Amino acid sequence: MLVQPSSKIYTLDEYRTLEETTEFRNEYHDGEIIPMTGGTIDHSRIIRNLIRLLDVALQQKDYEVFSSDLRLWLPQYRKGLYPDVMVISGVPICNNNRADEVLNPCLIIEVLSKSTSSYDRGDKFLYYRSISEFQEYVLVNQSEYKIEHYLKTGENEWLFREYSGSEAKINLESVGTTLEIKDIYEGVSLEL
C-alpha cells in the first residue's frame, strides 16, 4: 500500500542510503520517496502461500523465488518498487552490483488490496512491462477466489485470463508450473 510522498526530491543515492537504515520500506519514483504501509493478515498469508508453493514447485529448476523484501529497479522509469513476489530465471541481475536491487524477474505476483488495486493493474503493470525478461503478471484478490493473469505472447501483446473459484488451477507458463487456487488461499478468511 502507498501513502502520500513527501515534497522533498531525493537523489537515488539518498534514497538507497535511507532504505539501508530505515525500518520501513519506501518506493522510489524518480526523486520522490513514497512510504509503504503494512498489509493485512490475509495479504501476508497469500504471499506466504505463494512463496511456499512456488519454492517447492521450482525446486531442481533454474528459478529463484523472492519476497517483497527485495527491490526491483526499473531504469526506464527510474523507479524502485517492491513486488509482493518475484521469480527470476537463472542468475539474478543486480543493478550496479547492488545485492538489494534486481532487474530481471520473469514472473511478478501482486496481492491486491482496495488501496492499491488500480495502481497494480495500471501504472505498475506499465512499469513492469519495461523489463525485457518479464513474461507473466498475476494479480491475486485477497477477499475472494479471483485471480487475474497476464501472459506475454509477443512484443507488446499480452493474453488475459481470469480465474474464479477454489477449484480452479492457474498455469504459470513462464516457470512451467501449475498452482491450485485453493492452495494460494490456504488459511485466508474469504467473504463468501
pTM of the model: 0.88
Would you state the pLDDT for residue 173? 97
Q: What is the pLDDT of residues 86-97, one digit of tens each?
A: 999 999 999 999
Q: What is the pLDDT of residues 128-152, one digit of tens each?
A: 999 999 999 999 999 999 999 999 9
At residue 10 the predicted structure's pLDDT band, cuts being 50, 70 and 90, is confident
Q: What is the mean pLDDT of the chain?
A: 91
Other CB atoms within 10 Å distance of the CB of residue 150: 20
All structural domains of the chain, each given as residue ranges with its CATH number in brackets, are: 39-184 (3.90.1570.10)
Would you state the pLDDT for residue 191? 64
As a whole number, mean pLDDT of residues 4-26 equals: 76
Would you state the pLDDT for residue 115? 82
Q: In this model, does residue 26 exceed pLDDT 80?
A: no
From residue 18, alpha-carbon distances to 42, 50, 74, 149 in Å are: 29, 29, 18, 34
Least confident of 2-16, 78-92, 110-124, 142-156: 2-16
